[in-house]
A and B are shown apart, each in its own frame.
Chain A
Amino acid sequence: MSAPYYDEMRAADGSIRPHYRPFADWIDRVPSARIAQKREEAERLFHRVGITFAVYGDDDGTERLIPFDLVPRIIPADEWQRLEAGLVQRAHALNLFLHDVYHDQAILRAGVVPAGHVLGNAQFRREMIGVDVPGRVYAHIAGIDVVRGGGGEYCVLEDNLRVPSGVSYMMENRKITMRLFPELFATQSIRPIQHYPNALLEHLHAVAPAGREHPTVAVLTPGARNAAYFEHAFLAQQMGVELVEGQDLFVQNETVYMRTTRGPQRVHVLYRRVDDDFLDPLAFRPDSMLGVPGLFAAYRAGRVTLANAIGTGVADDKSMYPYVPDMIRFYLSEEPLLANVPTLVLSRKDELAQALARLDELVVKEVHGAGGYGMLIGPLATAAEREAFRERIRAAPERYVAQPTLALSTCPTFAEAGLAPRHIDLRPYVLSGKGTNLVPGGLTRVALREGSLVVNSSQGGGTKDTWVLAPDEAC
């Protein structure tokens, strides 16, 4: 029986796909002892550089490594061109949607997206109605998770428009593979991604409050105990801007300042990695210790730009996901270049009935869940688990969506007994501000356990470097 999965390296007949040929030759040629040595070296490098990921609520052994797998995920030039166009289109439409729902709400009036789904959503921020943000950009950084189905077609699994993370792993993974396989980089054209921080800074400059030629940008972090702190520090350093915490900032006359050794200094753009709820105790959660009192008032007054904007969560919620293709048609009058995973919206009666009839084939997700928690994977669940979930769905069908079990593509990965296929996904980072674009690549996450489809790092996932090949030069 042939595997129902698309393998990135091998075609169905077992032959090596052309874009993997140089890598496959290399791995055949290099003795396994040397590869083992390279794996150890990678491990050591990661430890030394301190690319770790903090675990909440653990005072002592606070950090651990996200496992890194040496085998790159390689994307040929033509595939990337299609993917890139689809991602840019999607991010563009999502930004138009966000501007619309906080202004005219044309898409709700046209009945394309049910008004109740938007206005009744906990992520819809009433405070943002009528607020104009520079360039009408809301999701300056969009992490759009992409998977490949059994036929090799790319589709979008999820949009992350709040504070998507992981981009530092994309960059560190590249640094490590360049160090470990210089010969592979020398013999083929792998497109560089190391300019990401520079690109991000350009976009952030472009959305500064009007009339600012040399805006001061800062990265706002919840602090060293946050799981993604390494990344916050990394990006601040790479962009050459300050890494600030709430306690470093204060607001006076609707203007944001940081406390420096030379007195107060004005801040124009905050790349904030703090959730909406915690940004300003005066506007949102009053118990927030991470925020800056008065920040929202300064933001409303257009005196500071926040990236991403407040209230982007209304567009990346799983209840909104099924409507994104319609948003693309509505705002851009174009057909979506990247499909969604077919999704049943269980608040719709007929789709609920379909889902309940096929629970053993489907993955059911909570619309507000994240991180791989609170979901039912039908084919792997016991009959009792499915029955229990069935009751939960019946009680509140609007809280769930259902999707077919994804045939995530596989990529060879080092396992106990040598190379073996493991399931992967891809998170590219789409940047908006000065236009919309992305660096060629993203973070490939891999489910390290055999057969597992869960790639989240909190659930034992690892990462790989992602190589996008340059188009062949014309002869």
Chain B
Amino acid sequence: MLSRHANELYWIARHIERTENTARLLDVTYRTSLLPYHPGEPGLAWAAPWSVPLITSGLASAYYQRYSVLTAENALRFMILDPSNTSSIYACLRAARESARAVRGAITSEMYEDLNSAWIEMRDTDYERIQARGVSDFLDWVKMRSHLFRGVTFGTMLRDEAYHFIRLGTHMERADNTARILDTKYHILLPSLADVGGAVDYYQWASLLQSLSGFEAYRKIYKDVISPRRIAELLILRDDMPRSLHSCMNLIYDTLQLLCDEQSREIERMAGEMHARLHYGRTDDVMSFGLHEYLTDFLERISQLGNEVSRTFLVPA
């Protein structure tokens, strides 16, 4: 297929997946921010919940260029509605719909209608309307739109290259986002020594799990208290957890095997290596290497893989 079309399809999927992860992160943050917090005392939440989504998405400095203080309203406006923030939900839906328009011939009409109607609803949304319907309700809508997009894609699209590039985009973005969200705990959620194992710690890990749709799975699998080691196992190494790094790499590796030919052996090798590390990795090794170090290394590799995919398939010289 045309490289330009493959590029647009890949980015439609990445942008939609990004809206979903942003919505998850904001939703958990929003709910956490409603919990009481008393500085200096063990409490149920942390001091600056709204810095979490900003740092996780790597958008803190962009935020402070626009706003001098961190407030819930500013953070929500920035992450949901700001057209100049290219990762805002607004900007991602607009970009996805623009890409869809550019590749109308390569997607099904149901997919186009889906992206078009999501964009039209988003375009007509403002802060007051979000407040009026409820922040969580709006964020649920964003997640549902992402589910709908995947469902429409899965249910209507021919299993051709176009489909594979969409799947590739979805899972590249998801792998990146999962690793970032997991790493949040290192950046900001480090509890004071007194809090370790306490209520604050519990709520922090629990919200992290929730933002990755992993809370219920955790309960089902471990039937036990929440521990960082098990969270790492669940969201990095388990291949039956759809947002885990292993699960994402399975799909990325399989998809790339379908797309690669003689000219793209390097991509296949890079993906194969990443996949093998997750497939044969042990939780002990991850923990002794250091969770933060492990995730940083993963983010670096997934970004290199993304660059190689672009160079080979999407934007050839």
A is bound by B: yes
For A236, the chain B residues whose CB sits under 8 A away are 104-105
Question: Is the C-beta of A261 less than 8 angstroms from some C-beta in chain B?
Answer: yes
Q: Is A247 an interface residue (CB 8 A)?
A: yes
Given contact pairs A260-B1, A262-B261, A243 touches B117 in the complex (Cβ within 8 A): no
For residue B263, CB closer than 8 A to chain A, the reply is yes
Question: Given that A248-B4, A259-B4 are contacting pairs, would A243 and B105 also be in contact in the complex, using a CB cutoff of 8 Å?
Answer: yes
- Listed from nearest, the 9 A-B pairs whose CB atoms lie closest are A233-B104, A236-B105, A243-B105, A237-B105, A261-B313, A50-B116, A259-B3, A261-B6, A233-B105
Residue B112 CB within 8 A of the other chain? yes
Quick one: which of B6, B113, B261 contacts A49, CB cutoff 8 A?
Answer: B113
Is residue B161 contacting chain A, with contact meaning CB distance below 8 A?
Answer: yes
Q: How far is the CA of A223 from the CA of B103 in the complex (A)?
A: 10
Q: Assuming A49-B113, A260-B1, A260-B3, is B105 touching A224 (CB within 8 A)?
A: no
Tell me the bound Cα distance from A49 to B100 in angstroms: 12
A-B contact count (CB 8 A): 62
Pairwise interchain contact A242-B263, C-beta atoms closer than 8 A: no
Residues facing A in B101-124 (CB within 8 A) are 101-106, 109, 112-113, 116-117, 120
Chain B residues with CB under 8 Å of A248's CB are: 2-4
A47-B120 in contact (CB<8A): yes
User: Which residues on A sit within 8 Å (CB–CB) of B161?
Assistant: 261
A205-241 CB contact bits vs B (8 Å, 1 = yes)? 0000000000000010001100001100110110001
For A243, the chain B residues whose CB sits under 8 A away are 5, 103-106
Asked if B239 is an interface residue, CB under 8 A from chain A, the answer is no
Q: Is A258 an interface residue (CB 8 A)?
A: yes
Does the CB pair A259–B98 fall under 8 Å?
A: no
Closest to A63 in B: B101
Chain B hits for A263, CB < 8 A: 263
Q: Kindly identify which residue among B4, B106, B112, B165 contacts A50, using a CB–CB cutoff of 8 Å.
A: B112
Complex Cα–Cα for A262 and B113 (A): 29
Classify chain A's interface size.
20 to 34
Q: Does B259 sit at the interface, judged by CB under 8 A?
A: yes
Complex CA–CA separation, A243 to B162 (angstroms) = 13
Contacts of A224 in B (CB 8 A): 98, 101-102
Chain B residue at minimal CB-CB distance from A62: B101
B102 and A258 contact, CB distance less than 8 A: no
CA gap between A223 and B4 in the complex, in Å: 12
B39 interface residue (CB < 8 Å to A)? no
Q: Is the CB of A242 within 8 A of B120?
A: no
- Tell me whether A258 and B112 are in contact in the complex, defined as CB-CB below 8 angstroms, given that A224-B102, A263-B263 are known contacts: no
Taking CB as reference atom, which chain A residue is nearest B107?
A: A237
Which residues in window 344-401 of A have CB below 8 A to B? none
Tell me the smallest distance from the CB of B67 to a CB of chain A, in Å: 25
Alpha-carbon gap, A47 to B119, bound state (A): 12
Q: How many residues of B contact A (CB 8 A)?
A: 27
Q: How far is the CA of A47 from the CA of B117 in the complex (A)?
A: 8
**Beyond known contacts A47-B120, A236-B104: 12 more, CB 8 A cutoff:** A48-B113, A50-B101, A50-B116, A224-B98, A233-B101, A236-B105, A237-B109, A242-B1, A243-B104, A243-B105, A248-B3, A261-B6
Contacts of B98 in A (CB 8 A): 224
B residues less than 8 Å from A230 (CB atoms): 104
Q: Does A244 contact B (CB under 8 A)?
A: yes
Contact with A along B208-235 (1 / 0, CB 8 A): 0000000000000000000000000000
Q: How far is the CA of A237 from the CA of B106 in the complex (A)?
A: 7
B36 within 8 A of A: no
CB distance from B11 to the nearest CB of A (A): 14
**With a CB–CB cut-off of 8 A, which chain B residues contact A50?**
101, 112-113, 116
B316 interface residue (CB < 8 Å to A): yes
B4 pairs with A247, CB closer than 8 A: yes
Tell me, in angstroms, the Cα distance from A224 to B106 when the chains sit together: 14
What's the least CB distance linking A63 to chain B, in Å? 9
Flag if A49 contacts B263 (CB, 8 Å).
Answer: no
In angstroms, how far is the closest chain B Cβ from the Cβ of A235? Answer: 8
On chain B, the residues within 8 Å of A258 by CB distance are 2
A245 is an interface residue with CB less than 8 A from chain B: yes
Tell whether, in the assembled complex, residue A260 and residue B2 are in contact, meaning their CB atoms are under 8 Å apart. Answer: yes
Cβ contacts A to B, 23 pairs, < 8 Å: A48-B116, A48-B117, A50-B112, A50-B116, A236-B104, A236-B105, A237-B104, A237-B106, A241-B105, A242-B2, A242-B105, A244-B2, A245-B4, A248-B2, A248-B3, A258-B2, A259-B2, A259-B3, A259-B4, A261-B1, A261-B3, A261-B165, A261-B259
Distance (whole angstroms) from the CB of A427 to the closest CB of chain B: 23
CB distance from B157 to the nearest CB of A (A): 12
Q: Nearest chain B CB to A135's CB is how many angstroms away?
A: 26
B105 and A49 form a contact (CB under 8 A): no
Least CB distance, B119 to chain A, in whole angstroms: 10
Contacts of B259 in A (CB 8 A): 261
